[in-house]
Structure formats: structure tokens, C-alpha cells
Amino acid sequence: MFAIPLGDDGAELRPLEPWQAEEFLAHIDRGRSFIGRYNGLPDIVTDLESSRAFLQAYAEKTAADTGRIHGIHENGRLVGAVVFRTLDTAQGVAEAGCWLEPAAVGRGLVTRAVRVIVDWAVEERGIHRVEWVVSSGNEPSIAVARRLGMTREAVLRESHLYRGQRHDEEVWAVLAPEWRAAGKRAAGASSGS
């Protein structure tokens, strides 16, 4: 299996596949209440069968080129994931998402991982627009969108019913020309230009 390093701290990005359902379930169990604050995944992945089904659904999305899932590993242990919930190459639009276990928070893992998948989507798949839809109360996820140079385009008031409560959702996005320009600025800054 291939892995993409996310820095020199032992963190890496790897595809998640159905055969990893046991490891995936253990990861969700470790972060169930934390992840479930804004993400319905812990309500879906409750046992080995549902874990395998969730990963199988993403395997089918990968095969159809309509989505992807990659695990964030730290020193070999699955601690989170980034996804393309949707990937529409004909329209050039994708929606990215993420989650982490509480023990992995605060080290920039999601930002680094999302950078990798957005680079891939823009440069390899020709995606023009990457969206990030987030609950208005999810400040850490909003901070990721800001760090990635995304623009908040809308607040969808009380648009998401989650666990019996209505939540506002924010739509953030970055366009391919903005992404490329930010990458060039970052490369120039790191080379001392």
C-alpha cells in the first residue's frame, strides 16, 4: 500500500479500504463522542458490518470516480480521515470533509492532509471548485478552511437537522486559480524569494 508523508513527524495519508474495517471501527470507537459532535459518522459506523459497509461505499465511489477516503495515520495508527464526499469531474466540483480522534487534534494533521487531496483534485483531476461544508459551531473545521485559503460564501440557516437540533451550515470554497496562486506564494516564501 502506498503512503504520502504529511511532514517529518511520522504522519502520513493512506487510502482506506473495506479490508481495514476492523481498524476503522477501532478508530471510530476511540473518538466516537468527539467525532460525533458535528459528524454523523459515529451514528453510522457502530459495528464491524457497518464499518465494512461504510468503507465499501467509498470503495465504490473511488471505482466510479465520484469520491475518495484516505486515512490520516500517525506513527502507523489510524487517527483520522479526509474525504471527498463528492467528486464530479464533469462539473469540476468536489466537496471535501474530515474528522480526527481527540488525541490527534492540534498538530495540523487535517490541514496538511486536505492540502494533499486538494492538490490532487485540482492538478490531477481538473477540479475547479473544492467546497467545505461545516456547522457554524465547528470552529476547528472553520479554522482549517481559513488556513487553506477558502472563502466563506454562504451561511445556510438551520439547514441541517442533526440529533434533533437544527444547525446553521457554512459553505466555504476555493477555486483552482486561487489554489494555484496560493501554492506559488507559499513556494516563493519557502525558497526565500
Residue 181 and residue 188: Cα distance in Å, rounded? 11
pLDDT band at 1 (very low <50, low <70, confident <90, very high): low
Question: For position 82, what pLDDT does the model report?
Answer: 97
**What pLDDT score does 2 carry?**
84
pLDDT tens digits, 153-172: 999 999 988 888 999 999 99
Identify the band that residue 115 occupies on the pLDDT scale cut at 50, 70 and 90.
very high
Write down the pTM of the prediction. Answer: 0.91
Q: In which band, very low, low, confident or very high, does the pLDDT at 8 lie, cut at 50, 70 and 90? A: confident
Which cell goes with 21?
A: 474495517
Distance CA 87, CA 130 (A): 9
In this prediction, residue 89 carries a pLDDT of 96
- DSSP letter for 124, please: T
Residue 189 has pLDDT above 70, yes or no: no
Closest of 31, 24, 158, 168 to residue 83, by C-alpha: 24
In the prediction, which pLDDT does 162 show?
Answer: 87
Question: Does the structure show a pLDDT above 70 at 174?
Answer: yes
Q: Summarize pLDDT for 39-85 with one digit per residue, the tens.
A: 999 999 999 999 999 999 999 999 999 999 999 999 999 999 999 99
Average the pLDDT over 94-106 and give the result.
95
Band of pLDDT at residue 19, cut at 50, 70 and 90: very high
Yes or no: say if 159 and 127 are a contact pair by the CB < 8 Å rule: no
Please give the domain boundaries of the chain with CATH numbers for all domains.
Answer: 4-190 (3.40.630.30)
Q: Decide if pLDDT at 186 tops 70.
A: no
The type of residue at 118 is V
